[in-house]
Amino acid sequence: MISVENITKSFNDVEILKGISTEFEKGKTNLIIGQSGSGKTVFLKCLLGLFEINTGTISFEDKKLKEMTGKDRTILRQEMGMVFQGSALFDSMTVEENIMFPMQMFTKKADSEIRDRANIAIKRVNLINANTKFPDEISGGMKKRVAIARAIVMNPKYLFCDEPNSGLDPKTAILIDNLIQEITAEFKITTVINTHDMNSVMEIGEKIIFLKNGQKAWEGSNKDIFQTDNQVVSDFVYSSDLFKKVREVYLKN
Amino acid sequence: MLKLTFGKFTKWKILKQLILKDIDSLIIGSLGIVSFISFFVGGVVAIQTALNLENPLLPKNLIGFATRQSIILEFAPTFISIIMAGKVGSYITSSIGTMRVTEQIDALEVMGVNTHNYLIFPKIVSLSLYPLIISISMFLGVFGGYIASVYGGFSSSVDFVEGIQLDFIPFHITYAFIKTLFFSFILATIPSYHGYYMNGGALEVGKASTVSFVWTSVVIILLNYLITQLLLT
């Protein structure tokens, strides 16, 4: 579980995050949603420790991030997996090498064992005949799968995803969403997803946090979001006619 | 940046692969262009010197002498380094910059990798072999001068070889290699800095490469002046 208490973050005296508090639960897909510029990416990077927060606390299983030594942080980072918006695969490595990389870096396992574990991860994300291909030889959806495989290969406690289905066709986007949800439940991972995609909100949003102007404006599940009377959330989620109709049908039933 | 580069080391097994890869792309990959330029510039230096020796009282061995001095003291260590700032420097800046733009550096950070050490240290180590390129450049520059002056009919082989040996000061070689070592460090670090700390997209990668080339060249020229002042005067 990740606990966030009253965190603030500023850049050049401009406050981006203004006192956010929440909890991300283990074994659930936790979604952060909000308009562009609402502070979602900064929030995610604060959770990852890529940005230092100004005030407040972020705790991983009761261990405060601010109080961790460099060594503790290194250990924590090895318990994290991250799927970047653009996949962030290493261009000079093949698919298999990309997935093997974290294990080669941080474990003392033999190469054969590392390769076996990488292949288990490759199978888990349903990648077929891609082991020897380079990132520029595979599709966007396959890249996301490789990124997910790389993120889970070390059996992380925490999985972070930044816009995991951006740039993907709707069918592939749903597959990726479902894959993340399955992996989260299967390995009891605390998953935090930063997304704009309303399909993801409806499909896999077991816990949703809505950010507006750097503040938490709403919190609930994908079921709650159909019934909310919060105007700001409704304006954002149901901005399209399609979703308005989906909501009407849901509420009628 | 340097403190972090020499801080928390990457696993040796991985670092070794990165160093070998960088030796291949930065050192071996530069041999062709350096050899080509050195040979022909050496030839041009010899021809230019020969054409300026109008006085019949001046000995023909001056062609070999002038070629050797120009190549060893300045052309090989300094001007090849400026060329390398364009070739190797731009490559380093754009490769690290592209990793920054495509979030590959963030991905390494999240994994807990010391990205400074992982990305920059192998380049510093591999470029420590840079004096090898310069020694090849020195040899080919003088050889180019020999070919141009002997086969161009500007001097005899004996005169040229005598010129090469004339008033030879071994410290000049030491001076050239001291310069080269400093330049190799500059060639690895300034482009890495510009790539690592860049912001923006593909356009900014191009801009960072240009800025890195300009600064690397400026620092090499200034350092060249300082080292020459300290070691030769």
pLDDT digits (tens, 9 = 90+) for A146-164: 998 898 888 889 999 988 8
- Name the more confident of B208 and A204: B208
Residue of B nearest to A49 (CA): B110
CATH classification number, A2-79+158-252, choose in 3.30.1300.10, 3.40.50.300, 3.40.50.2020, 3.40.50.10490? 3.40.50.300
**B29: pLDDT confidence band, cut at 50, 70 and 90?**
very high
Shortest distance, CA B196 to any CA of chain A (angstroms)? 15
**Of the given ranges (A94-98, A138-142, A169-173), which has the lowest mean pLDDT?**
A169-173
The predicted-structure confidence for B67-110, as pLDDT tens digits, reads as follows: 999 999 999 999 999 999 999 999 999 999 999 999 899 999 88
- Mutation site for A-interface testing, chosen from B110, B114, B119, B205 by largest number of A Cβ within 10 Å: B110
pLDDT confidence bin for A97, thresholds 50/70/90: very high
Closest CA to A24 of A67, A59, A55: A59
Provide residues of B within 8 Å CB-CB of chain A.
8, 10-11, 13-14, 21, 98-99, 102-104, 106-107, 109-113
Minimum distance, in Å, between the CA of residue A126 and any CA atom of chain B: 22
pLDDT recorded at residue A72: 86
Cα separation values, A206 from A32, A47, B77, B107, B122, Å = 11, 19, 64, 26, 45
The yes-or-no verdict on residue A134 having pLDDT over 80 is yes
Cβ of residue A84 closer than 8 Å to a chain B Cβ: yes
Nearest chain B residue to A159 by CA distance is: B110
Asked whether the beta carbons of residue A82 and residue B110 sit closer than 8 angstroms, the reply is yes
> What is residue B49's predicted lDDT score, i.e. its pLDDT?
92
Q: Going by DSSP bridges, is the β-strand pair A215-220/A207-212 parallel, antiparallel, or unpaired? A: antiparallel
Neighbour-count burial for A114-150, b at 16+ CB within 10 Å, e otherwise: bbebbbebbebbebeebeeebbeebebbbbbbbbbbb
Selected for mutation to probe chain B from A68, A78, A82, A111 (highest B CB count within 10 Å) is A82
A37 touches chain B (CB under 8 A): no
The per-residue pLDDT for A228 is 81
Give the DSSP letter of residue B113.
Answer: -
Q: Quickly list DSSP for B136-162.
A: HHHHHHHHHHHHHHHHTTSS-HHHHHH
- Spell out the residues 6+ positions from residue A8 whose beta carbon is closer than 8 angstroms to its own: A15, A17, A18, A19, A53, A54, A55, A56
- In this prediction, residue A105 carries a pLDDT of 87
Residue of A79, A83, A84, A158 to mutate for B, most B C-beta atoms under 10 A: A84
Which among B69, B52, B50, B51 is positioned nearest to B60, based on CA atoms?
Answer: B50
Considering only the beta carbons, identify the residue of B14, B98, B99 that sits closest to A105: B14
- Mutation pick from B17, B103, B111 vs chain A, by most beta carbons of A within 10 Å, is B111
Q: Which residues contact A69 (CB under 8 A, 6 or more apart)?
A: none
Instruction: Please give the pLDDT value at position B171.
Output: 94
Return the pLDDT at A85: 86
CA distance A201 to A102: 30
A34: left (phi over 0), alpha (psi -120 to 50) or beta: left
**Nearest CA distance, B33 vs chain A (angstrom):** 24
| Single-letter amino acid, residue A15 | E
pLDDT > 90? residue A73: no
Give start and end residues of each alpha helix (H) in chain A. 40-48, 70-78, 95-106, 111-124, 140-152, 170-187, 198-204, 224-227, 231-237, 241-252
The rounded percent of chain A whose pLDDT value lies above 70 is: 100
Which residues of chain B have a CB within 8 Å of the CB of A92?
21
Indicate the domain borders of chain B: 10-226
Distance CA A91, CA A142 (A): 14
B21 contacts in chain A (CB < 8 Å):
92
For residue range B128-155, list pLDDT tens digits in order.
Answer: 999 999 999 999 999 999 999 999 989 8
Cβ A86–B112 below 8 Å, yes or no? no
A163 contacts on B by Cβ (under 8 Å): none
| Contacts across the A-B interface (CB distance below 8 Å) | 52
Q: Name chain A contacts of B10, Cβ cutoff 8 Å.
A: 105
Q: What is the pTM of this model?
A: 0.84
Domain parsing of chain A, residue ranges: 2-79+158-252, 89-155
CB–CB of A104 and B113 under 8 A?
no
